[in-house]
Structure 1
Amino acid sequence: MKELQEIFKTTVQMPDSRAAVINIFHSNIYVKDQLLAQLKPYDLSLEQFNVLRILRGQKGKSINLQDIQQRMVNKMSNTTRLVDKLLKKNFVERHLSQQNRRKVDISITKLGLKILKGLDPLILSVENSITENLSSDELKQLNILLLKLKS
């Protein structure tokens, strides 16, 4: 593809498989940069934002670190460190588990919910901006293809 060669500043024709993989990496960085621009004023990383959204999805219930880790988009994240940073910002609370005192449960605070409520329209705007050139059918197809890549 000519467009990819221009983006990658190359004249070498690369195999479609290599172009696709590099294009996915390039797109990943583009999406991350767009999202991070919205999170920066809140001093949040993408991983911290992910933890907050996981906790909000608990609808007031707490969840342990292991379950948070399983739900993370980036499985390589150090969940304990992320939660510690969110604790310092008063976005989350830590409690000893009622069922197992060796486990720690985490819940989102009112401040954490307030921050997410403020971020929701900003993130939605970025998501819409990133995908505005794709139709609904194209978005569905993109999701199907990305899932197929991982299966």
Structure 2
Amino acid sequence: MMTTDPRHLEQSTYLTLQVLALRLKDEVELLLKPEGLSVTQYNVLRILRGAGAQALTCGEVASQLLNKDPDVTRLLDRMQKQGLVERLRSEQDRRVLLTRLTPQGRATVDQFDAPVAALHRQQFRQLTPDRLALLLDLLQEIAQQDTD
């Protein structure tokens, strides 16, 4: 039975979103696991691919992460050891360390484009494109409140 108490509705909505977000994340983790990637590492690869030829600072990468990692430097160090990223000193300021994709990192992130898209189609299969667009609009409206 659905209650009209706004507090219950808000709490139920929050909990449903949390459960769904964890389930969706777990499914992506299962997809990435055979390649030895975490969701955060995959996110870093996508951020760096989006930067194109421009190398990014640790802070720039951290600011775009979906999952806030308290030690992005160590994360990038591990990814460098895996051959996914390369790190170099800025020519303008030698104190600044820049990160960009290696060819292996680019190939790794590219190989997941189709499988991740297929997973997302599966995850949202019960929604028509119109209803999915509505859901996106509603979620973006809520997300925008944080930035206002």
Same fold (TM over 0.5): yes
User: TM-score, normalising length from structure 2?
Assistant: 0.88
Q: How does 1:93-112 map to 2 (within 5 A)?
A: 93-112=86-105
Q: Does 1:144 align with 2:137?
A: yes
Q: Report the equivalent of 1:74.
A: 67
Q: Report the equivalent of 2:28.
A: 35
- Contact 1:47–1:77 (Cα < 8 Å) also in 2: no
Query: Aligned-pair distance for 1:148?
Result: 2.2
Alignment size in residue pairs: 140
Q: Does 1:133 align with 2:126?
A: yes
Percent identity between matched residues is 29
Q: Report the equivalent of 2:11.
A: 18
Q: How does 1:40-79 map to 2 (within 5 A)?
A: 40-79=33-72
CA-atom RMSD, angstroms?
1.6
User: TM-score, normalising length from structure 1?
Assistant: 0.86
The answer for unaligned runs of 5 or more in structure 1 is 3-13
Q: Which of 83, 86, 93 is the matching residue for 2:79? A: 86
- Contact 1:94–1:104 (Cα < 8 Å) also in 2: yes
Moved more, 110-119 or 69-78: 69-78
2-side partners of 1:145 and 1:80: how far apart? 35
2-side partners of 1:122 and 1:93: how far apart? 25
Secondary structure at the aligned position of 1:86 is classed as helix
- Contact 1:55–1:62 (Cα < 8 Å) also in 2: yes
